[in-house]
Chain A
Amino acid sequence: MKPGSIAIVGAAETTELGRIPDLSALQLHADAALNTLADVGLTPADIDGVATAGESPTNVAWYLGITPTWVDGTTVGGCSFMLHVRHAAAAIAQGLCTTVLITHGESGKSRVGAGRRAFSAASLQGQFEVPYGPMGAATMFTLPMLRYMKDFGLSEEKLANVAVIQREWAAQNPRASFRDPISVEDVLDSRMIAYPFRLLMCCLVTDGGGALILSSTERARDFSTPPVYLLGTGESVETPMVSQMQDLTSSKAFRVSGRKAFEEAGIRPEDVDHLMIYDAFAHLPIYGLEDLGFVGRGEAGDFIWGRNTAPGGRLPVNTNGGGLSYMHSGMYGMYALQESVRQLRGIAPAQVPGVRVSVSHGVGGMFGAAGTIVMSNELP
């Protein structure tokens, strides 16, 4: 993809976020898709490419009445939508399709029409992790963190502070699930989930969805929405088993994906005005800041403590409140992308002044996969 040649022309979330017991997962995809089509002024007949995760693209295309000439069902966890953006850009550039709809919908809390999540006993996880009692993401995603804390001397206070700063952003966002201010003490006093992680260091579980529409920049001029240009994209995977990460204090998938995206965009971390780092748990912004090169190894806790990522800081991070305070349906990557688009359009509830370059970085599985998208409201 030539930087700036493909644009996000439409972006919207589901009408409601949070607890939506009256919509199935599939209808959440559709609700987000219809809102996004309305955002651009298109109808399903205008869409010729469909990408989604969680549901099969066949379900989503048929349900919406779309006849695609290109589909992508890449499902690598919560960052799948970053990968869809990357693949869609390549497909549009190659002429496989012209107008791609990427959808996400998940009944994470209400579990209406939602699939079962379990590993087969014969899978690698089923043989070599599940027998030792991990109970979902809260006990697997968190497993590397004590190693990081010992190697770099990060305190529990500094880990807790990640949630405190993100709550400051959420306080400015009427759609955020949690908006009341919290202190480091509040986080450390909240219920222990999986030591060293307390409740307020863990993401929400909510219902919701979001969708994006991409086209060539040339064609973006036909739409009334301000285009968000793709400057660079990256993706990678490391391991399906968190216990098998090459280095428990750094994500290889983050490093590879981030480097690709920044190289393609021709930018350096200091060129970034706004950053979204998928935060299923409080340690993820720490890994993201370091593995994407915004700070050195072991420095992210102090960087956040120094209010650099907070409102008024020099690198605003997770300005919607993040998975910790805004919403988290299970595959949160779509909401990170939505907030990047809002910031670049200048319509975010907690709008950062003068955002020109935004980066959305997603994680999939338990440090299993990563996707990174560099976007701008200006052509390079």
Chain B
Amino acid sequence: MPRPLPQPTPETAHFWEGTRVGELRLQRCAACEKVYFPPRPFCPACGHRRVRAFAASGRASLHSYVINHRAMPGAGFEAPYAIAVVELEEGPRMMTNIVECPQTPDALVLDMPLEVVFEPQSDEITLPVFRPTAAS
């Protein structure tokens, strides 16, 4: 069984359209310049409705994580695996997984540089996950 997949809403559709074409889309407020995530059609800092989506750099750092050791048969994940929070270069943080990296405390070093990778899950959904940058 595959992992549980998101069901986009009208307010988040642009984000999921973005990941499908290889863009990690954030939004920026036209009034106060706040960059934010997750998506919504107004600024959570000032309430302004004029906001614009843009493609983020995809660069991030490892902010925190846990390594889940409880296997959940049929849930689409093989334990142990890390559930991470990354801090995007533009400021917002998001939950994600770290790929192309051993799922161990030694390999998963806080603040290590990461870059986004897009993993297609279905025709509609591509998930953004992160891997260590080549230099790290």
Which B residues are CB-close (under 8 A) to A138? 68, 70
Which residues of chain B from 45 to 74 have any CB-CB distance to chain A below 8 Å in the complex?
63-70, 72
Interface range on chain B (Cβ under 8 Å from partner): 35 or more
Which residues of chain A from 45 to 95 have any CB-CB distance to chain B below 8 Å in the complex?
none
Decide if A143 touches B66 in the complex (CB within 8 Å). yes
Interface size on A, residues (CB 8 A): 36
Decide if B67 touches A195 in the complex (CB within 8 Å). yes
A38 in the interface, Cβ–Cβ < 8 Å? Answer: no
Question: Which of the residues A146, A191, A193 comes within 8 Å of B65, measured between beta carbons?
Answer: A146
- The CA of A353 and the CA of B16, in the complex, are separated in Å by 59
B26 in the interface, Cβ–Cβ < 8 Å? Answer: no
Question: Which of the residues B63, B68, B125 comes within 8 Å of A139, measured between beta carbons?
Answer: B68
Q: A131-B4, A131-B5 are in contact. Are A142 and B95 (CB under 8 A)?
A: no
Question: Which of the residues A134, A135, A195, A244 comes within 8 Å of B93, measured between beta carbons?
Answer: A244
- The CA of A138 and the CA of B84, in the complex, are separated in Å by 14
- 9-residue interface stretch from A121-129, A171-179, A211-219, A288-296: A121-129
Decide if A133 touches B38 in the complex (CB within 8 Å). no
- The CA of A140 and the CA of B85, in the complex, are separated in Å by 10
Which A residues are CB-close (under 8 A) to B12? 127
- The CA of A121 and the CA of B8, in the complex, are separated in Å by 8
Which residues of chain B from 11 to 65 have any CB-CB distance to chain A below 8 Å in the complex?
12, 38, 63-65
Which B residues are CB-close (under 8 A) to A140? 83
Closest CB-CB distance, A291 to chain B, in whole Å? Answer: 17
Q: A133-B81, A248-B85 are in contact. Are A128 and B94 (CB under 8 A)?
A: yes
Looking across the interface, which residue of chain A has its beta carbon closest to that of B65? Answer: A146
Known: A194-B68, A196-B105. 20 other contacts (CB 8 A): A121-B7, A126-B7, A127-B7, A127-B8, A128-B38, A131-B3, A132-B83, A132-B97, A132-B127, A133-B3, A133-B75, A133-B76, A134-B83, A139-B68, A143-B65, A143-B66, A143-B83, A147-B63, A192-B69, A195-B105
- Which residues of B are at the interface with A, using a C-beta cutoff of 8 A? 3-9, 12, 38, 63-70, 72, 75-77, 80-81, 83-85, 93-97, 105, 110-111, 121, 125, 127, 129
Can you show 5 pairs from A to B with CB atoms below 8 A apart?
A: A121-B5, A126-B7, A128-B38, A139-B70, A241-B38
